[in-house]
Chains A and B, each alone.
Chain A
Amino acid sequence: MAAPKRTTPGVFVVLAVLGIAFVTLPLAGLIQRTPWSRAADVLTSDSSLTALRLSIVVATSAAVVSLVLGFPLAWVLSRSSFPGRRVVRGLVILPLVMPPVVGGVALLAVFGRRGFLGAPLNNVFGVQLTFTTPAAVLAAAFVSFPLAVLALEAGLRSLDTRLEDAAATLGGSRWYVLRRVTLPMLAPQIAAGLVLCWARALGEFGATITFAGNLQGRTQTLPLAVFERLQTDPDGAIALSLLLVAVSLAVIVGLRGRFLAAR
């Protein structure tokens, strides 16, 4: 049934334009203030390149960790019923709504030098997590994990489980069916989850700086580098910001047709 054509109230048109301006004006300001003559120098400087490289490593690792840990959980949430399942799902998405800095404090409480996991790690194995790249990965994975679980759970729910039954009658063991039927059919959701987690991890600031600190080459990712430069070199910070905008735009282009498709 085709929706009847409705006239749009004039006031909505005005507010809609305001909404567009709300999003685009800051971007325009960023571009307008960009010191183009210095941009190349800033972006190719050692500290920037180090931060960019670290950001890519951290975001990619965090996305992979989220997906690998998220898949079994999404499976359990979508395919089994147990008491408290709703509570578990609520807990899982908590990092998504929680202030990241609180996440960082929480991670510190667990994995910090005196945390209840951090202390034995340090005493028994001599491993200290805080202020290392793995800590930055952990912080980024913590905040992106819910996105992986949500994307995979939705995918698993929409999958026709009778295809897996059919595969079993054709002689496929559980692992074979998982590898040849379930995972390939989930490919779009896995890709979407990967991109969403990667984008979320790339932008992570609060949990990272709280839990992993701001050490150049070890934990200083691009957002942290932008923040640091802002104190001393605002123009350089703008150039770095533009780089992050470019990466974000690339993500949107990559996701085009998946989540942004008009209904």
Chain B
Amino acid sequence: MSLVVDVEARLGHFTVAAAFEAAAGETVALLGPNGAGKSTLVATLAGIHRPSSGRVDLDGRTLDDVVTGRHVPPERREVGVVFQDRLLFPHLSAMENVAFPLRALGVARREARSRAADLLARLGLAQRADARPADLSGGEAQRVALARALIREPRLLLLDEPLAALDVRARTHVRALVRRELIGFAGVRLLVTHDPVEAMNLADRMVLVEDGRVTQIGTPGEVRAAPRTPYAAELVGMNLFTGRLERLEAGAGRLVTSEGDVVVAWPPGIDGALESVIGLLRPADVSLHVRPPEGASARNVLAGTVTSVSVEGERARVRIDASPPLVAEVTLGSVERLGIREGTRLWASFKAVEVRVQAI
């Protein structure tokens, strides 16, 4: 029981290609920045958009196969979609919206309505069953959309940015509810989001999509420990350098990136130069100085200008336009003591051993 995707879909001049699998009872997050091609993938999996090549299999049934020309239309795919802007039917009440899939299957009106009412009650909407979508709050509308997608017990549940349209308070509530319903849903669960917090919170595995390509697949823990692209590193709050590794001296190497060089500890078990490596650096390991540091043990000292300071609790993330660009995490006290603000000229330093190097 699983979803097996290996497709390419074209929308205008934009092409998105994705290959991944998702098992029943597992929540997989499709995570990527806006414009990465996630919505095109959603439309393709839902059957609204035909792939340009490849195939989609769900529970052993082929939904799309470009080679044989097979395409199962949306109404026969058994894929339940919660659309980003919900797309509730404005002329139907909340209950009629939820009963719609059952009525389409030919379930008698009374039974469809009573099952819709039960599901709405489970989602805490018993009082709002007769309301029109226009009269529902964002959180309520989201729950109605979820109920409508769930009621027919589809094989695949596809949630497209389920929390994006909600304000912060509704989001917390709906997130808990979505988590509960996801856990209770037996089929394949696919969550499409641009929000790493949402993905890390709700997903068992993450599929990172950038520029129409899958760049990394792994559990949230794996991605957090070893992001493979600058975007992934940014998601998990790490500095990431990609480039060529050259021998510098005993125990040390130089990581040459397109934006500047970094001195790193030589990775064990590797002899010669490597064409393609990534180096990861935790922002907390970067020290900031208002003057060039002297006599420090840090092998990397980079001058640069502060481009942004964002405060998270007692800490601040300072973005520095150095070569290569860096993010440093320091205490609020340091920010005040050093007088750091946008445009401040300063020096960042970190030890070679603090950069974790791996071949790719």
Determine if A170 and B91 form an interchain contact, defined as CB atoms under 8 angstroms apart.
no
Chain A residues whose CB sits within 8 angstroms of the CB of B101 once the complex forms: 170-172
Determine if B104 and A166 form an interchain contact, defined as CB atoms under 8 angstroms apart.
no
Given known A-B contacts A162-B83, A163-B87, A185-B91, A168 and B100 have beta carbons under 8 A apart:
no
Chain B residues whose CB sits within 8 angstroms of the CB of A162 once the complex forms: 83, 87
Interface membership of A169, Cβ < 8 A:
yes
Determine if A169 and B104 form an interchain contact, defined as CB atoms under 8 angstroms apart.
no
Given known A-B contacts A165-B48, A168-B73, A170-B152, A176 and B104 have beta carbons under 8 A apart:
yes
Given known A-B contacts A176-B104, A180-B100, A169 and B89 have beta carbons under 8 A apart:
no
Chain A residues whose CB sits within 8 angstroms of the CB of B77 once the complex forms: 169
Determine if A169 and B47 form an interchain contact, defined as CB atoms under 8 angstroms apart.
yes
Determine if B48 and A170 form an interchain contact, defined as CB atoms under 8 angstroms apart.
no
Given known A-B contacts A168-B48, A168-B73, A173 and B87 have beta carbons under 8 A apart:
no
Determine if B75 and A172 form an interchain contact, defined as CB atoms under 8 angstroms apart.
yes
Determine if B104 and A173 form an interchain contact, defined as CB atoms under 8 angstroms apart.
yes
Q: Which of B71-103 contact A (CB under 8 A)?
A: 73-77, 79-81, 83, 87, 89-91, 100-101, 103
Determine if B90 and A169 form an interchain contact, defined as CB atoms under 8 angstroms apart.
no
Chain A residues whose CB sits within 8 angstroms of the CB of B104 once the complex forms: 167, 170-173, 176, 180
Q: Complex formed: what's the CA distance from A172 to B87 in Å?
A: 14
Nearest CB on B from A260, distance (A): 24
Interface membership of A72, Cβ < 8 A:
no
Chain B residues whose CB sits within 8 angstroms of the CB of A154 once the complex forms: none
Chain A residues whose CB sits within 8 angstroms of the CB of B148 once the complex forms: 170
Chain B residues whose CB sits within 8 angstroms of the CB of A160 once the complex forms: 87
Determine if B80 and A181 form an interchain contact, defined as CB atoms under 8 angstroms apart.
no
Interface membership of B360, Cβ < 8 A:
no
Chain B residues whose CB sits within 8 angstroms of the CB of A99 once the complex forms: none
Q: Complex formed: what's the CA distance from A244 to B152 in Å?
A: 54
Interface membership of A184, Cβ < 8 A:
yes
Give chain A's interface secondary structure class: helix
Given known A-B contacts A168-B75, A169-B75, A172-B104, A184 and B48 have beta carbons under 8 A apart:
no
Determine if B105 and A169 form an interchain contact, defined as CB atoms under 8 angstroms apart.
no
Q: Which of A128-176 contact B (CB under 8 A)?
A: 160, 162-163, 165-173, 176
Closest to B101 in A: A170
Give chain B's interface secondary structure class: mixed
Nearest CB on B from A114, distance (A): 50
Q: How large is the interface on A (under 10, 10 to 19, 20 to 34, 35 or more residues)?
A: 10 to 19
Among candidates A169, A181, A184, A187, residue contacting B46 with C-beta atoms closer than 8 Å: A169
Q: Complex formed: what's the CA distance from A165 to B48 in Å?
A: 7
Q: Which of B283-317 contact A (CB under 8 A)?
A: none
Chain B residues whose CB sits within 8 angstroms of the CB of A181 once the complex forms: 89
Determine if B81 and A166 form an interchain contact, defined as CB atoms under 8 angstroms apart.
yes
Determine if B75 and A171 form an interchain contact, defined as CB atoms under 8 angstroms apart.
yes
Q: Complex formed: what's the CA distance from A171 to B76 in Å?
A: 6
Q: Complex formed: what's the CA distance from A169 to B149 in Å?
A: 9
Mark contacts of A162-202 with chain B using CB atoms, 8 A cut-off: 1 yes-contact digit, 0 otherwise: 11011111111100100011001101000000000000000
Determine if A184 and B91 form an interchain contact, defined as CB atoms under 8 angstroms apart.
yes
Chain B residues whose CB sits within 8 angstroms of the CB of A187 once the complex forms: 91
Among candidates A165, A170, A173, A185, residue contacting B100 with C-beta atoms closer than 8 Å: A170
Q: Complex formed: what's the CA distance from A172 to B149 in Å?
A: 13
Q: Complex formed: what's the CA distance from A188 to B105 in Å?
A: 28
Nearest CB on B from A245, distance (A): 36
Chain B residues whose CB sits within 8 angstroms of the CB of A184 once the complex forms: 91
Mark contacts of B38-52 with chain A using CB atoms, 8 A cut-off: 1 yes-contact digit, 0 otherwise: 000001001110000
Q: Complex formed: what's the CA distance from A170 to B81 in Å?
A: 8
Nearest CB on A from B81, distance (A): 5
Among candidates A166, A171, A176, residue contacting B87 with C-beta atoms closer than 8 Å: A166
Q: Complex formed: what's the CA distance from A187 to B91 in Å?
A: 10
Q: Which of B103-157 contact A (CB under 8 A)?
A: 103-105, 148-149, 152
Chain A residues whose CB sits within 8 angstroms of the CB of B89 once the complex forms: 163, 167, 180-181, 185
Chain A residues whose CB sits within 8 angstroms of the CB of B87 once the complex forms: 160, 162-163, 165-166
Closest to A166 in B: B87
Determine if B75 and A173 form an interchain contact, defined as CB atoms under 8 angstroms apart.
yes
Closest to A173 in B: B75
Chain A residues whose CB sits within 8 angstroms of the CB of B83 once the complex forms: 162, 166
Chain A interface residues (CB < 8 Å from chain B): 160, 162-163, 165-173, 176, 180-181, 184-185, 187
7 extra interface residue pairs, beta carbon distance < 8 Å, beyond A166-B87, A170-B100, A180-B100: A162-B87, A165-B87, A167-B100, A168-B47, A170-B152, A180-B103, A184-B91
* The 8 nearest A-B residue pairs measured at CB: A168-B74, A166-B87, A171-B104, A170-B101, A172-B104, A169-B74, A165-B48, A169-B81
Query: What are 8 A-B interface contacts by the 8 Å CB criterion?
Result: A163-B87, A167-B100, A169-B81, A171-B101, A171-B152, A172-B101, A172-B104, A181-B89
